[in-house]
Amino acid sequence: MTTNLYSEIIKCLVDQPAINVNAKGFNGKTPLHCAIELDELSLVDLLLSKRSINPLITDNENKSALDYAKDNRVLQVLINHKYGLEKDSLLHLAAILN
């Protein structure tokens, strides 16, 4: 679990307008992939609060955030969250993009 200090630092970084919350690392993972892998529900919530977040981005192994959501709590958060300006469901967003 992240400490309060680390959570505050991450929140400050994510809140910067120039930060791309969908940026991929060398392995193709986004911050959302990593937060889910680390089972950091508070970070998942923080990232999902960003309008530009895209949970359907895949990494170098062609896995999306949903593929990493083994924990039922995280999976429910991903499924129930409303995405983008139109507040689309994950299923609706997937239908639009595919």
The mean pLDDT value of the chain amounts to 82
- Domain boundaries defined on the chain: 4-97
- Between CA 73 and CA 41 the distance in angstroms is 8
pLDDT (0 to 100) of residue 59: 96
One-letter identity of residue 85 = L
Q: Read off φ and ψ for residue 84, nearest 5 degrees.
A: 70, -175
pLDDT (0 to 100) of residue 76: 78
In this predicted structure, the answer to whether residue 1 has a pLDDT above a threshold of 80 is no
Mean pLDDT of 74-85: 73
Question: Who has greater pLDDT, 27 or 86?
Answer: 27
pLDDT by residue (tens digit) across 2-49? Answer: 567 777 888 888 888 888 999 999 999 999 999 998 888 888 989 988
Q: Which CATH architecture has domain 4-97?
A: Alpha Horseshoe (1.25)
Mean pLDDT of 54-71: 88
